[in-house]
Amino acid sequence: MSAPAPVIAVTTSARSGWRIFPLVALNVWLAGGRARRWGTGRAADLDAVDGLVIGGGDDISPALYGGEVRAEVRLDPARDALERRLAEEALSRGLPVLGICRGAQMLNVALGGTLHADAYAAYPGSRRYRTILPRRIVRACPGTLLAELTRREKMWVNALHTQSVDRLGAGLRIAAFDSGGMVQAIERPAPPLALGVQWHPEHLFYKRQQRRIFGALVQAARAHASGAPATA
């Protein structure tokens, strides 16, 4: 009898989760896992899951990393508090974590890093995009897990974010840049998996290299569920 599919928690916003979660769940299912939606007002017990996806959404409050508040952005303090707690606990437990867009930023903040509240002011050489279509070129750093997973140095990805990683959190390294020097992915070099990508791979499920990101998460979650040693 085959082992049950690992359960992956997926955090979403209360406002847009209804349309985002099914797409992330599809990617998790294609990789052999089973997704469970979490958010503010829903039960969120890490004992019940084998891995965690911190999903995209509104900007993270600068209060979490000592930044300057921008009046024009929409914030969700309740979601900030939930996801920071989950990220910190998952990392301390050795639970595999994938951060998507906002989730990559939260992964960095949970490990003591900071953000650029206005990514494009910090990186004027990075072209501003706001689309789920693959319009931005990013380059994976040689020798990183991301480069190994995607088997690509250069990738076309989408972009919806306004914040970006500034100072790296403890134990993280940069895994990808764009042409303007903006950080586009971060990762923990050693297992268990902790990977954050600034784009939305769930919208790019038709690209094999993007599906491999979810595949790595599910594989790490399966190892966690079985008690096997984590591998990169």
Q: Percentage of the chain with pLDDT > 70?
A: 95
Q: 66 or 204: whose pLDDT is higher?
A: 204
51-54 vs 7-11, strand pairing mode = parallel
Catalytic one of 116, 161, 200, 203: 200
What span, in angstroms and rounded, lies between the C-alpha atoms of 193 and 172?
11
* Residue 72 pLDDT greater than 60, yes or no: no
The span from the CA of 33 to the CA of 6, in Å, is 5
CB 102 within 8 A of CB 54: yes
Cα–Cα distances in angstroms (integers) from residue 58 to residues 4, 78, 151, 183, 229, in the given order: 34, 12, 30, 19, 35
Range 19-32 average pLDDT? 96
In the predicted model, what is the mean pLDDT of the chain?
93
- Find the catalytic residue in 161, 187, 202, 224: 202
> HSE of 2 in the Cβ direction (CA atoms, 13 Å)?
6
- Judge whether 116 counts as a catalytic residue: no
Which pLDDT does position 58 carry in this prediction? 87
Measured distance CA(80)–CA(47) in Å, rounded = 21
- The DSSP code for 59 is B
The pLDDT assigned to 69 comes to 67
- What distances in angstroms separate CA 230 from CA 154, 198, 221, 227, one per listed residue? 28, 24, 9, 9
Query: Whole-model pTM above 0.85?
Result: yes
Confidence of residue 87 (pLDDT cuts 50, 70, 90): very high
Packing angle of the helix pair 102-110, 77-93 (nearest 10 deg) = 60
Task: Give the bridge partners for 53, in sequence order.
Answer: 10, 98
Which one is catalytic: 101, 161, 187, 203? 101
User: Average pLDDT for residues 106-116, to the nearest whole number?
Assistant: 97
Q: 5-9, 65-69, 158-162: lowest mean pLDDT where? A: 65-69
Q: What is the mean pLDDT of residues 81-98?
A: 96
| pLDDT band for position 70 (cuts 50, 70, 90) | low
187 is catalytic: no
Residue with tokens 């992330």: 24
pLDDT for res 163? 94
Kindly state the tokens that stand for 193. Answer: 């998996």
Residue 3 pLDDT level (bands cut at 50, 70, 90): confident
Provide the pLDDT for residue 131.
94
- Distance of alpha carbon 199 from alpha carbon 100, whole angstroms: 7
